[in-house]
């Protein structure tokens, strides 16, 4: 999938969720996906904006994670995912992304 396809998929999923009170940014080598969880439903864009929590990973790993081939906790434990900022926000993401 491309960054635009993943962003569209995440927008579709976010439309079914409630606000969660934080901002999150996925930063990859091919661009970013920003989730504004203060909006209801959460807003998803490719804006490279400051966030409460930034998750950094290679685009291929991000693609695998979004498509259910890579678990977020496994990615973190194996060093494929780096988290900057509020770790509590990152923990909320598992329920948000499903």
Backbone angles phi, psi at 45, to 5 degrees: -150, 180
| 98 within some domain | no
| Confidence bin at 93 (pLDDT 50/70/90) | confident
d(CA 45, CA 8): 9
d(CA 98, CA 88): 17
What is the CATH number for 14?
Answer: 3.30.1050.10
Please tell me the total count of domains within the chain.
1
| Residue indicated by tokens 């996925």 | 26
pLDDT at 98 over 60: no
| Confidence bin at 23 (pLDDT 50/70/90) | very high
Containing domain of residue 66, as a range?
3-92
| 51 within some domain | yes
Q: What is the pLDDT of residues 44-82, one digit of tens each?
A: 999 999 999 999 999 999 999 989 999 988 999 999 999
């Amino acid at each position: 999938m491309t960054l635009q396809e993943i962003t569209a998929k995440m927008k579709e999923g976010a439309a079914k969720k409630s606000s969660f009170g934080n901002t999150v940014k996925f930063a990859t080598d091919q661009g970013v996906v920003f989730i504004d969880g203060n909006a209801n439903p959460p807003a998803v864009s490719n804006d490279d904006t400051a966030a409460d929590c930034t998750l950094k990973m290679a685009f291929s790993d991000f693609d695998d994670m979004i498509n259910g081939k890579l678990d977020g906790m496994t990615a973190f434990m194996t060093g494929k995912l780096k988290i900057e900022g509020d770790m509590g926000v990152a923990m909320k993401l598992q329920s948000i992304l499903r």
